[in-house]
Structure 1
Amino acid sequence: MTTFVLVPGMCHGGWCFEQLTEQLRAHGHNVYPLTLTGLGERSHLLRTGVNLDIHVQDVAGVLVSENIRNAVLVGHSYGGMVITGAADRNPDRVDSLVYLDAVVPGHGDSCWSLVSDQERQWYLDVVETGDAVRPLPFFDPRATPHPLASVLQPLQLATDLTHIRRNVYVYAAGWKGQSPFTPLYQRLREDPAWTTHALDAEHNLMRDAPHDLLKILREIGEPS
């Protein structure tokens, strides 16, 4: 039995992992689908001042309060920032990291610095208060504005993350147009420290390739 902590991308909540959560639990795993502060059912919390540190603490809080050890942290898109920070701050509680078509930051990187100019243009389309990024028109109706500060704040790392047993990248190869993650995937697939997968799906892998994703995660949960 493995414990998975699932972290969504921008504007999304734990609801985006609903099918994956059910499937993993049906196979006997513990699963915690998170909604980050200021989003989804937590959107009533003040967005101003909600930054990357707070989102990292959201994950750390679950690891500590639930006394989770050997967690597999799974981050989609922006969630790659969050799981990296959480693994750095909780080295005794995190076993593996899984990036689902996500950013993979190093020390001093922000989501803003790692994405394409097209993505940055989206970030600048903020709500009237100027504190949050609007959901894109094709997002699920449950999507909510995303705290802007969280994508601008650089990630500060205190460790080199060598304690992580497995680093896994799952690339969505079915983007309509150029994927902003292609150069990253091409680099990581040549790195022996990483295991990479390419799925014929669009960016929302949880929706478009649920069975392939389930298989990958179940394999990660097995002892090496």
Structure 2
Amino acid sequence: MLREAGCGAHALTLAGLAERAGEEVGPGAHVHDIVDAIERRDLRDVVLVGHSYAGIPVGQAAGRIGDRLAHVVYVDAVVPAEGASFASVWWQGRPAFEQALAGAGGRWMPQAAPDYAGQDLTDARIEQIVSGSTPHPGASLTDPAGLLRPVGELPSTYVSCLLDAPEPGPDVAALLTAGTWRHVTMDTGHWPMFSRPAELAAVLLDAAGRPGS
């Protein structure tokens, strides 16, 4: 949908995942992946999009690409905070998260089909997600963020998926209250790229300033 509207769309596979599962994941590896892809392709007017965990490396990368950045879109995502990691904001607490990682050989295991219930997904979409999922390297989930620029200074949109959480967390709420970020709500679950792709594409096209968005 994005390419049909005239956008260049680049879906990145980050280190330690999918076909890159055998690669070592050190500090800042996923931030480097994103920045390297942008600079290697010499991309300009970049709209960086991060979903869920990926908001953390995307938010850091956004502060590192200078005037190449046009906008950041956090899709039901964790927003990076200096020194914090995905594990440190886990809803059950960091000790429980690290215990789960240790029990799976240092990896975060994919969810099973029943975990996607109530997320506005068809059975076919759930099967698509589950069959394509791979374990996530734990090192990236416990890696503390380092910000070159405060995320609140960057032009950003936050997409809240209401079936996942009816209200944004306090960190996101504070950024939205400051008035520099745009807030979009979607009446769907945590996976809008599967449940409401056209609606999400419209949000991304709007962030890119494309006609007809």
CA distance in 1, matches of 2:149, 2:49: 19
Question: More helix by proportion, 1 or 2?
Answer: 2
CA distance in 2, matches of 1:29, 1:104: 25
**Deviation at residue 181 of structure 1 after TM alignment:** 4.5
Equivalent in the alignment of 1:154:
144
CA separation of 1:161 and 1:218: change in aligned 2, threshold 3 A: same
What is the CA deviation profile of residues 56-113 of structure 1, one whole-angstrom value per residue up to 9, with x for unaligned ones?
Answer: 1110111111001221000000010011111122223222110000011122121122
| Unaligned runs of at least 5 residues, structure 2 | 114-128
Equivalent in the alignment of 2:23:
45
Contact 1:100 1:171 in 2 (8 A): yes
CA distance in 1, matches of 2:84, 2:45: 26
Equivalent in the alignment of 2:13:
35
Contact 1:51 1:151 in 2 (8 A): no
CA separation of 1:204 and 1:96: change in aligned 2, threshold 3 A: same
Equivalent in the alignment of 2:56:
81
Q: 1:144 aligns with which of 120, 129, 134?
A: 134
Contact 1:85 1:157 in 2 (8 A): yes
CA distance in 1, matches of 2:82, 2:156: 17
Q: 2:198 aligns with which of 211, 214, 223?
A: 211
Amino acid at match of 2:202: K
Contact 1:103 1:181 in 2 (8 A): no
| Unaligned runs of at least 5 residues, structure 1 | 1-22
TM-score norm. by structure 1 comes to 0.78
CA separation of 1:122 and 1:32: change in aligned 2, threshold 3 A: same
**Deviation at residue 151 of structure 1 after TM alignment:** 1.0
Aligned length: 195
Contact 1:52 1:82 in 2 (8 A): no
**1:25 partner SS:** coil
Q: 2:183 aligns with which of 181, 187, 196?
A: 196
TM-score norm. by structure 2 comes to 0.81
Q: 1:66 aligns with which of 35, 41, 62?
A: 41
Q: How does 1:155-170 map to 2 (within 5 A)?
A: 155-161=145-151, 164=154, 166-170=155-159
